[in-house]
A and B are shown apart, each in its own frame.
Chain A
């Protein structure tokens, strides 16, 4: 199966937030009590991602040359190839599916929250009881949730389907890479010198790529996102060291027992 991707074009986005609504609706995150929202002086709403808000539009106001620019960014799982969340997940709850995007099995999630800490884009969220610590992670599934799998049925993700200005498009990643690059070229010839395609090589290649008309930093995106070393250290270093230390201790104690017992017997 060819790798799939979503291409988001910030220069076409009108920030209607239809994708936000479609995401909630399709994934049945609009059920039950709604999320409390508040007026913050921005159209950005709700204030943050949550276990029931997997996608939201971020509004950024940038002042330059006496003019205010109003920038829109899509905030949701970027479906990285080198995904920190997949790397730190203790039991394979998070994994790469056949399309190259990051799925997870909610049933096996232990709620440890390592993925929340490790994600360079700060995307996963969890329901979490402060006292008991009972928790489950949630995030964008690229519309591959069991029973709600649009991709397997040959449909585009719900956010893409609903986007009126076609700022979101879906397809094979290689095709979208070419589309994105062409669009960036067009923007640059129009005079937007900083136009760039975000996600081609970041973290081994993202499966959600952005056409931006300015540096990623201006949009509040990490310029060169990295998988945090101290996070993956736990599987690459801590776990093997733990096995080695624990194993050697037990072997050493066993040897000691044999030697010490033999000597104790000799003494009578």
Chain B
């Protein structure tokens, strides 16, 4: 069966996604060893901290690089992630029925990012900043910064860890395992998704693409 495909994510976006994901997963795991007493032996002699810092540098550099390479795309992504309207509320209300029961009659048509993806962007940006600021203070201010500040930075880092960790599970699950998200994985692996899938999941975006006013992949 011949079927038409449309490009969802371009190659640079995909590369950036995967490097950033890799860095985050490493940061998550090397942070987790301090969280689980039974794993703390892995952190002895600070090796996990060294790995954590290398990954942290990549984690910071990648978005900056993206901003330099394609500021317009970053701007579009941020704008979408921080613009919330009635449709998003509708989506959030209809989402449980859709994701559990496959009932999509109340799901409003979505742009290139659906409301859930916008939420993920939003959380990534907000908690990414919290991670980076608290991390930099702990990295470079350990001997200089006031102790109370350092204590609160650990706290902030931990809260961000829990929120983003839970969201990471959700993100991986929706991207790889959910029975309805059959092509989410493809969109970030090869970049292309079928037209049917695009219409179904990103109706508004597909219309724009079809009209030729292609909103470039974010």
Listed in ascending order, the chain A residues whose CB lies under 8 Å from chain B are 90-92, 107-114, 116-118, 122, 128, 130-136, 228, 230-231, 233-234, 238-239, 241-242, 245-246, 249-250, 253, 256-257, 259-261, 263-264, 267
* Given A112-B43, A230-B151: A263 touches B100 (CB 8 Å cut-off): yes
B142-179, CB under 8 A of A: which get 1 and which 0? 11000110111011001101110110011001000111
* Given A230-B151, A256-B100, A263-B101: A134 touches B45 (CB 8 Å cut-off): yes
A-B CB pair tally, cutoff 8 Å: 128
Residue of A nearest to B52 (CB): A133
Residue of B nearest to A130 (CB): B140
Least CB distance from B198 to A in Å reads 19
Interface of A is mostly: helix
Residues of A within 8 A of B37 (CB): 90-92
Residues of A within 8 A of B139 (CB): 133
* A234 pairs with B100, CB closer than 8 A: no
B122-148, CB under 8 A of A: which get 1 and which 0? 000000000000000011101100011
Assess whether B102 is interfacial by the CB under 8 Å rule: yes
Least CB distance from B63 to A in Å reads 22
State A82–B12 Cα separation when bound (angstroms): 54
Assess whether B50 is interfacial by the CB under 8 Å rule: yes
Interface centre among B46, B99, B178 (most CB of A within 10 A): B46
Residues of B within 8 A of A90 (CB): 34-35, 37, 40, 43
Least CB distance from B72 to A in Å reads 34
Least CB distance from B93 to A in Å reads 17
With beta carbons under 8 angstroms apart, the residue of A132, A228, A234 that contacts B158 is A234
Assess whether B17 is interfacial by the CB under 8 Å rule: no
Residues of A within 8 A of B154 (CB): 114, 117, 231, 234
Q: A110-B46, A113-B142 are in contact. List 13 more A-B contacts (CB 8 A).
A: A110-B45, A111-B45, A112-B49, A128-B142, A132-B50, A134-B45, A134-B46, A230-B151, A234-B154, A245-B163, A253-B169, A260-B101, A263-B102
Assess whether B215 is interfacial by the CB under 8 Å rule: no
Q: Nearest 5 A-B pairs (CB), nearest first?
A: A91-B40, A110-B43, A133-B49, A134-B46, A264-B179
